[in-house]
Amino acid sequence: MMIEVTDLKKYFYKRKGFFSPSSDPVKAVDGVSFSVEKGSTFGLVGESGCGKTTVARILSGILEKDAGRFSISGKRDMVFQDPFGSLNPRMHIYGILSESLKVSKVSPAEARARCVEALELVNLDPAGVMDKYPHQFSGGERQRIAIARALVNRPEILILDEPVSSLDVSIQAGILNLLKDLQEEKSLTYLFISHDLRVVEFMSDTVGVMKNGKIVECASAKEIYSSPKHPYTRILLEAVPSF
Ligand SMILES: Nc1ncnc2c1ncn2[C@@H]1O[C@H](COP(=O)(O)OP(=O)(O)OP(=O)(O)O)[C@@H](O)[C@H]1O
Ligand SMILES: [Mg+2]
């Protein structure tokens, strides 16, 4: 298994004020377990606030867990929802891409080669892109750049948190197909997060349906969509017109 998560928990405590008693914690992640096989995609789906991003942030190393365990067997990188927010507007694309290579101490020539490689993988012309700034690109192009940034380190695992949610439906398909092609070419393992059931169905081998910090149902994408077992999964599916 490339990702193994066991009984993961993260509670957020809101301090109300000096004299008022502390309120009940928000149980953002409340005992989540799942595993992801090499080269496959695990889709995490559920309504806003159910804890998806919190799981992603813990597995990305941005946030400390409170309890439970997880292991990640390979180099991982992340792609987030909002490519405008996550790309530094004052840096040109080459700077953005090569920044994450600094920690791995590659030579300038190697860094340049890696950036060219990553941009080609996301179907952008390196020569026309590297010295431009994020605002000079469309939303879809920015998301390709965000994916390229994740690829420069040659990860084996990508954690993708709502990677197409900020994009027009017409642009989404291009990015999703690109992610699928990359996965096949590089045997990448994906944790794919979305509130959009259709997008998750398209991308995932296995789906975990999350509600209030827990995975209420976990099965193959086929099973989840053809014969959902949990009432909450059915409610989610019924809310999507085509299901
Ligand atoms: N840093 C934080 N401090 C306090 N509460 C937080 C923090 N981060 C998240 N939460 C709370 O934890 C819960 C889960 O949030 P999370 O961002 O993981 O949800 P999500 O499933 O990603 O939602 P969305 O689909 O809207 O992105 C929410 O109730 C949120 O308000
Ligand atoms: Mg989120």
State pLDDT tens for residues 36-78: 999 999 999 999 999 999 999 999 999 999 999 999 999 999 9
Distance 162 CA to ligand 2 centre (A): 7
Closest by CA to 227, choosing from 213, 217, 239, 242, is 217
Return d(Cα 1, Cα 37) in angstroms, integer: 5
Is residue 209 packed enough to be buried (19+ CB in 10 Å), middle (13-18) or exposed (0-12)? Answer: buried
For a pocket test of ligand 1, which of 50, 162, 194 has the largest count of ligand atoms closer than 8 A to its C-beta?
A: 50
- For ligand 1, atom 3, the nearest C-alpha belongs to 12
Return d(Cα 204, Cα 197) in angstroms, integer: 10
pLDDT-flagged residues of the chain (< 50): none
Query: Tell me, what's the pLDDT at 22?
Result: 67
Atom of ligand 1 nearest to the CA of 56: 18
- For ligand 1, atom 22, the nearest C-alpha belongs to 53
Domain ranges of the chain: 1-74+157-243, 87-155
Name the CATH topology of 1-74+157-243.
Rossmann fold (3.40.50)
Tell me the CA distances in angstroms from 199 to 158, 203, 210, 220, one per residue in order.
Answer: 16, 6, 15, 15
Q: Which helix (H) or strand (E) holds 127?
A: helix 126-129
What does the mean pLDDT of the chain come to?
92
> Measured from the CB, is residue 49 less than 6 Å from ligand 1?
yes
3-class secondary-structure state, position 129: helix
